[in-house]
Amino acid sequence: MSRILITSAIPYINGIKHLGNLVGSQLPADLYARYMRGRGHEVLFLCSTDEHGTPAELAAAKAGMEVEAFCAQMHDTQAEIAKGFGLSFDHFGRSSSAQNRKLTQYFAGELAKNGLIEERSEQQVFSLADDRYLPDRYIEGTCPNCGYENARGDQCENCTKQLDPTDLINPRSAISGSTDLEVRDTKHLYLRQSALKDRLDSWITSKTDWPVLTTSIAKKWLHDGDGLQDRGITRDLAWGVPVKKGTEDWPGMEGKVFYVWFDAPIEYIACAAEWAEANGKDEATWRGWWNEAEGADDVRYVQFMGKDNVPFHTLSFPATIMGTNGDDKGWKLVDYIKSFNYLNYEGGQFSTSQGRGIFQDQALDILPADYWRWWLLSNAPESSDTEFTWERFQADVNKDLADVLGNFVSRITKFCRSKFGEEVPTGGDMTPEGKKLIEDLEARLAAYQTHMDAIDMRKAAAELRSIWTAGNEFLQTAAPWSRIKTEPEAAAADTRLALNLIRVYAVLSAPFLPAAAQTMLEAMQTDDTAWPSSMAQALTALPVGHAYTTPEVMFRKITDEEREDWASRFAGTRS
């Protein structure tokens, strides 16, 4: 048994996210967490809400609430949505927690001791119309690198180039739209990332198993243009972690807070401290997951995120860890980063302002979570962007879930009930068709595990689909409804095998379809979730005489009328 630490990109607090955010971090992280638990590993799966920065202040003001109250309410909302999608976090924390405040200040103090934080006078944009300094995310303009007209002051989401607000062409306030801006001098702290460039480069180069998407983005930021730049880690804001050196005040930094991109990744560690406190565990327990000098040397740490988050998690957060550790073993660096491209919607992008695309709360309102989990994970944007269309969604759900998995469960339980009653039948020895099925499933199980271990989700989903299909093909070939007329013992043996296959399907499908898996287990009246060591053994787990029930329809088909209604409803104000 291994210890697996899993984190997914933490969702920002200012609103409910669309399905692209879900499939780009939290959902695949949950898939992996559930799989690793199913294989018997010890897992700590952590996520949080990202609560600091100007967007939270503005969203709170728009809602007519104090920012602290707004963040508390939105945390509860996002936690409820996560629960609705079956996300199995061990803890869903908050970056505004006392634990994160303490750790962020600690890391800043240690970096300063190690000579990796520098105070600099800089020019920052001040909006006369808004009467405030504008954080870089609230300055928009044209990217000097690619010409994208809605680039933000910290990064162009079109070409992913890291920017400073003063780099933008024709800058404007994202708050008011005003172009009445001026540049003023102010003092801020910078993390000297450039001093760690060689260490970061060697570390990233050593990760030969990382996805190409992850390493290519990291290398681009390291080497393109002027290479890795030092990063400002403070802002002129009221809402955030106050700037301190550990527990000491930081002269000249009064009234400033740490930049959200500095404190947010540290929340991964703080979330473990929150988890420990919430579950009555001591400090040594959570530090044993995160600090290699205190027990985490046997932990494998896996992160999940969209490609826009990769630079901060391959460079800035590792720089914070490396700079704090020095040359000693200490806070754990990530072992593997699974990154994702974008999920697009019907030929364009999701848009909150235009009401374009389906968002997470809306998705749960119209269909149960497993429908979404299956489609998103089986079409995850791993090697390229993925296009969501209602036609594809309807076709895949109806075929994979209703016609293949759901049909198998319904078909065999109803047949057995009508011919043998609601108990696993006795029957004779295994038939040739049954032996062939087991041989086929042994190979498919091995392939499924290989893809899941490698976090190749689309390949894993395809193999799982083939395992479901094999059950249907077995029923077609063995045809127990015909065989019972001349070979009742053989028909009973095939039926017994097929009923046992439902339990196996429940176990293998649980990472993708937790609710359906539970339905199958309840129908088979078992809580045996043991992962198959071999198909021959697993397909005899339910003994002769074991009672079962026939479940209701597991997956209903999506109608053409529903598809057309949803496509119209979520088309947005403009195409």
Question: Binding site, residues?
Answer: 143, 146, 156, 159, 352
Give the Cα separation of 486 and 80 in Å (integer).
55
Quickly tell me which residue has 């015909």 as its tokens.
Answer: 482
Task: Find the helix or strand (DSSP H, E) in which 232 lies.
Answer: strand 231-232
Cα 282 to the center of its chain, rounded Å: 27
Rounded Cα distance between 364 and 67, Å, is: 27
Cβ contact 412:479 at 8 Å:
no
Cα–Cα nearest to 377, from 38, 23, 35, 88: 23
Q: Is the dihedral of CA 370, 371, 374, 376 positive or negative?
A: negative
Cα 406 to the center of its chain, rounded Å:
27
346 contacts 18 by C-beta, under 8 angstroms: no
Query: What are the residue ranges of helices labelled H in 422-456?
Result: 432-453
Element (H, E) at 204: helix 197-206
Checking DSSP bridges between strand 91-94 and strand 343-345, what pairing results, if any? Answer: unpaired
Binding residue positions for Zn(2+): 143, 146, 156, 159
Rounded Cα gap, residues 376 and 462, in angstroms? 13
What the block records as the tokens of 128 is 């006369």
| Radius of gyration from C-alpha coordinates of the chain | 27
Extract the annotated binding site for ATP.
352
